[in-house]
């Protein structure tokens, strides 16, 4: 097992431990000292652990294509996780209006919500959105559609991270992740 930490846990950090057999990575994401990926099952605390190849690919794509891309509908909530909950309380008798509304939300989520690449992992529902010189990270696990025995430590929240610090932290993590699994494949 190899482990590494990128960033600063008091602000924003990603910590990981790599396991070759099976091909899994344990990830913690710290924001202001709290691991927003932590959850409890049967009284024991865990953090996200899975084959995160698709998630790493999604995060790399977000990092490379990060641009101002506001949430597609007006909402009173300040951050994406809250906006997404609020916006999904929409109904129309007109099927084309209804479908167009949810298509816009879902298309935006593909670009900003990493849960779309979770591949079935127990993973906090986290949103990433560029806002000027900061990346806004928000999460909402209050209504997680998981096994009733799973409870996230951090149900809802948000943080604004300096864009350069976010890019350095995530970029370093992704480089480590790719190098580790590339080396594991060569040595396999």
φ, ψ of residue 143 in degrees (nearest 5): -115, 35
Per-residue burial over 70-101, b if 16 or more Cβ lie within 10 Å, else e, is ebbeebebebbbbbbbebeeeeeeeeeeeeeb
Does the pTM surpass 0.85? The reply is: yes
pLDDT score for 185:
73
- In this structure, are residues 120 and 103 in contact, taking their beta carbons and an 8 Å threshold? no
Does residue 184 register a pLDDT over 90? no
Q: How far apart are CA 49 and CA 63, in angstroms?
A: 22
The tens digit of pLDDT for each residue in 114-151 reads 998 999 899 999 999 999 999 999 999 987 656 678 99
The tens digit of pLDDT for each residue in 155-176 reads 999 999 999 999 999 999 999 9
Q: How far apart are CA 187 and CA 83, in angstroms?
A: 45
pLDDT score for 149:
84
The tens digit of pLDDT for each residue in 38-73 reads 999 989 999 999 999 999 999 999 999 999 999 999
Banded pLDDT at 182 (limits 50, 70, 90): confident
């Amino acid at each position: 097992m190899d482990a590494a930490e990128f960033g600063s846990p008091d602000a924003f950090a990603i910590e990981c431990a790599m396991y070759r057999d099976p091909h899994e990575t344990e990830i913690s994401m710290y924001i202001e000292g709290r691991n927003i990926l932590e959850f409890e099952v049967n009284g024991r605390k865990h953090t996200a652990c899975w084959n995160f190849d698709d998630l790493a690919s999604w995060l790399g794509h977000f990092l490379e294509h990060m641009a101002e891309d506001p949430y597609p509908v007006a909402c009173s909530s300040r951050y994406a996780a809250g906006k997404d909950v609020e916006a999904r309380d929409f109904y129309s008798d007109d099927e084309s209006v209804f479908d167009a509304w949810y298509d816009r939300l879902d298309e935006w989520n593909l670009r900003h919500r990493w849960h779309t690449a979770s591949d079935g992992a127990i993973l906090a529902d986290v949103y990433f959105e560029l806002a000027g010189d900061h990346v806004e990270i928000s999460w909402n696990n209050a209504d997680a559609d998981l096994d009733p025995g799973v409870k996230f430590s951090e149900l809802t929240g948000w943080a604004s991270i300096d864009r350069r610090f976010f890019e350095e932290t995530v970029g370093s993590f992704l480089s480590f992740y790719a190098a580790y699994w590339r080396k594991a494949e060569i040595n396999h």
